[in-house]
Amino acid sequence: MVTENPLSVRKPDDSFAIQTFDLTRIFGKILAVDGINLDVKKGELFAFLGPNGAGKTTTISMLCCLLKPSSGTALVMGNDINKDPYKVKATIGISPQDTTLSDHLNPIENLELFGNLHKLPPKIVKQRARELVETMGLEDRAKDQVRKFSGGMKRRLNIAMALINDPQLVILDEPTLGLDPQSRRVVWKYIARLKKEKTILLTTHYLEEADFLADRIGIIDEGKIVALGTGLDLKTSMIDTHTIIIKAWNLTQKTIMEMKEKYEDVQITDGTMTITDKRVDFKEIVNYLQDAGTTIRSAYIKEPTLDDVFIRITGKELRE
């Protein structure tokens, strides 16, 4: 049987950093990645989300040429992962989930070590190491051993090491995992600096991180891409109900019953009324309650979050 070449169906496009063509990976009887077709534009930060076991790590392993597809292929900066794995590897930098640092070395020495592994000229390695230490805000600690660094500083250095070979594509795998919220925000600032200078493929278990940083977001579940778009696109298109939260005094049982008859879901907790329905008119509800003698302390529309979208699409928490 002749198998159709996936490249004959969708044509390669130089405007994309990553193009996958029916990319598939099977482990025994398990279909881990199910023929995905995905385009990531050059210069964008693309967040790749999915619950554990969804196929995210397998997809990235194939894009990095660490795992061969069972069928299909992908182009990374125009290079075929099946035909030109060494060219692919030369164009990417990877910041893995587990930091790959030598604790007894200082940040400059760590960066020079990686630069040497990439077989870069010594002069270029020294120059890039100094520049990256400055870029990541580590110049004041340039002579300190990494074992003395905080978790956030180590994460920033780990990202810097992915940049030492000046890659066109940077893959950041859970770059803020385990950090406190303040340290996470600091790392975000440095990742944001890389946007437009590099193409970035980001995986994360923090949905607010994807929402804050990403130009576009792709959600994979059971080996398939199940949602794709900007954070705003996903939040507005995938959620078909709206919620109004009202903190009030003088809510009578009669008013509560009338609201429950009119709207799909009405909850009352400690003087706070939460109304959820496919159609909610903010002004209409506020006027109705005021006419009923209710004193409104505050009222606002609850915006949908990526958490809402993710659970709606996959039925799972991202941290499962």
Predicted pLDDT of residue 68: 97
Residue 141 pLDDT > 70: yes
Question: What domain count does the chain have?
Answer: 2
| Range of lowest pLDDT (59-63, 207-211, 218-222, 276-280) | 276-280
The pTM assigned to this predicted structure is 0.81
Mean per-residue pLDDT, 260-287: 90
**Nearest-angstrom CA–CA distance, 111 and 161:** 6
Query: Which secondary structure element, helix H or strand E, spans residue 85, and what is its range?
Result: helix 85-91
In the prediction, which pLDDT does 1 show?
39
Domain end marker among 195, 215, 236: 236
CB 82 within 8 A of CB 127: no
CATH of the domain at 293: 3.30.70.980
**Domain co-membership, 212 together with 67:** yes
- Give domain status of residue 311, yes or no: no
Within a domain: 251:
yes
Q: Convert the pLDDT of each residue in 195-227 to its tens digit.
A: 878 999 999 988 889 999 999 999 999 999 999
Q: How many residues in the chain?
A: 320
Burial class from Cβ neighbours inside 10 Å (0-12, 13-18, 19+) for residue 41 reads middle
- Whether the pLDDT of residue 320 is over 50: the answer is no
Is residue 79 located within the same domain as residue 202? yes
In-domain check, residue 92: yes
Domain co-membership, 123 together with 246: no
> Measured in whole angstroms, how far is the alpha carbon of residue 90 from the centre of its chain?
23
Percentage of the chain beyond pLDDT 70 is: 95
The closest of 234, 218, 220, 239 to 301, measured between CA atoms, is 239
Q: Are 230 and 215 in contact (CB under 8 A)?
A: yes
Structural domain contains residue 317: no
Model confidence at 4, in pLDDT bands (50, 70, 90)?
low
Q: Which domain holds residue 282?
A: 241-303
What DSSP string runs through 259-270? HHHHSSEEEEET
Residue 163 pLDDT grade (very low, low, confident, very high; cuts 50, 70, 90)? very high
Task: State whether 56 and 109 are in the same domain.
Answer: yes
Contact call for residues 25 and 33 (beta carbons, < 8 A): yes
Alpha-carbon distance 125 to 101, whole Å?
17
Average per-residue pLDDT for the chain: 90
